[in-house]
Structure 1
Amino acid sequence: MLELKSVGAGYSAFQALFDISLDVRHGEAVAVIGPNGAGKTTLMRVISGLIRPQKGAIAFEGRDLALTPAHRIVELGIAHVPENRRLFARMTVEDNLRMGAFMPAARARFRQRLDFVFDLFPRLRERRDQIAGTMSGGEQQMCAIGRALMSEPKLLLLDEPSAGLAPVIVQQVFDLVRRIRSGGLTVLIVEQNVQQVLKVVDRAYLLEAGGIRTAGTSAELLESKSIREAYLGV
């Protein structure tokens, strides 16, 4: 479904990613793990078209994303939940969800998608008229994920969904990821919470200093001595 080959990217003179190659197959949940500053958010921005690769190739269902404008990438079926949620804080929950259905095809199915999101996140139905910025961090994360789902994506990009949340809410967020997966949606998630994310994905890549250091199934990485010592504290 998604394939990156030897991708390099960065900001002006600063290069953040070096020769990144990875793939995500239809129906999978794949994680990119690693420390803060490793380049995980840059990777997500490159895939969603917010920044352009300096080298390499990115393909989604055979389409060249490196040559595709960001708004067209959304139309192809990729929805990005950014780090720190980036909600429209002064708008209501429902209006934030409406912004996720801005494309003509999604606007035509707005009510159906809204019901889908409210069924997935009943709390948002209760808070539909509440100003988004006044909700708790966990509720805002639900709203950010719900907004992305309004476009009926084929691939959902989740950038650090547990960042800044209390431990009990972190568990709820990963439970939400499990529920989303159960519906057959393909997910690519970048996350520092290695122990939690490896419990909900099929495979993972370890990104350090802008490069892929290792990859494997979630079970393999959970058993890896180096990853257990560096990221799991055991």
Structure 2
Amino acid sequence: MLELKSIDAGYGSFQALFDVSLDVKAGEAVGVIGPNGAGKTTLMRLISGLIRPLKGRIAMEGTDVGATPPHRIVSLGIAHVPENRRLFPRLTVSDNLKMGAYMQGARAKYAERLEFVFDLFPRMKERRNQMAGTMSGGEQQMCAIGRALMSNPKLLLLDEPSAGLAPVVVQQVFELVKRIRASGLTVLIVEQNVQQVLRVVDRAYLLEAGSIRAAGTAAELAASDTIKQAYLGV
């Protein structure tokens, strides 16, 4: 479904990614793990078209993402849940969800998608008339994921979904990821919480200092001595 080949990327004179290649197959959940500053958010911004690669190619079902105008990338079936959620705090939950269905194809299925999101996140139905900025961090994360799902995506990008949340809420967020996977959606998730993310993905890549250092199934990486020592505290 998604393929990155030999990607270099950065900001101005600063290079953040070096010769990065990875792929995500339809129906998979794939993780990108690594420390803060490794380039994980840059990777997500590339896939959703917020920045362009310096070198290499990104393809979504064969379509060149780099040659697609940023505002059209969502129509390829890519939905991005950014780090720190980026909701419209002074709009209601309902209005935030409506913003996720602005593409013409999504508008036609608005009622159907809203029902899907409310079934997935009953709390959002309860809070639908509440200002998004007044909710808890976990509820805001639900709303941000729900907003992305309103576009009826094929691929959901989750950027650090556990960031800034209490441990008990982090557990809830990863349970939500499991439920999203069960609906058949393909997921690419970048996350510092290595232990939690390896429990919900099929495969993962280790990104350090802008380069892929390891790749394998979630079980293989969880059993790796390098991963255990550096990220799992074992």
Range class of TM-score, shorter chain: over 0.9
TM-superposed deviation, 1:69: 1.1
TM-score, scaled relative to structure 2: 1.00
Opposite residue 101 of structure 1, the aligned amino acid is: A
**Is residue 39 of structure 1 aligned with residue 34 of structure 2?**
no
Q: Give the alignment's Cα RMSD to 1 decimal.
A: 0.4
Q: Which residue of 2 aligns with 1:139?
A: 139
The percent of aligned pairs where both chains have the same amino acid is 79
Q: Distance in 2 between matches of 1:69 and 1:17?
A: 22
Q: Which residue of 1 aligns with 2:112?
A: 112
Q: Which residue of 2 aligns with 1:49?
A: 49
Q: Which residue of 2 aligns with 1:72?
A: 72
TM-superposed deviation, 1:6: 0.3
Secondary structure in structure 1 of the residue aligned to 2:6: strand
- The count of residues paired between Structure 1 and Structure 2 equals 234
Q: Distance in 2 between matches of 1:156 and 1:190?
A: 11
**Is residue 228 of structure 1 aligned with residue 228 of structure 2?**
yes
Unmatched runs of 5 consecutive residues or more in structure 2: none
Secondary structure in structure 2 of the residue aligned to 1:133: helix
**Is residue 2 of structure 1 aligned with residue 36 of structure 2?**
no
1:158-202 CA distances to partner (integer Å, 9 max, x unpaired)? 000000000000000000000000011000000000000000000
Q: Distance in 2 between matches of 1:44 and 1:136?
A: 25
**Is residue 195 of structure 1 aligned with residue 199 of structure 2?**
no
1:113-148 CA distances to partner (integer Å, 9 max, x unpaired)? 111100100000000000000000000000000000
Opposite residue 209 of structure 1, the aligned amino acid is: A
Moved over 2 A (4+): none
1:45-64 CA distances to partner (integer Å, 9 max, x unpaired)? 00000000000011110000
1:69-127 CA distances to partner (integer Å, 9 max, x unpaired)? 11211001000000000000100000000000000111111111111100100000000
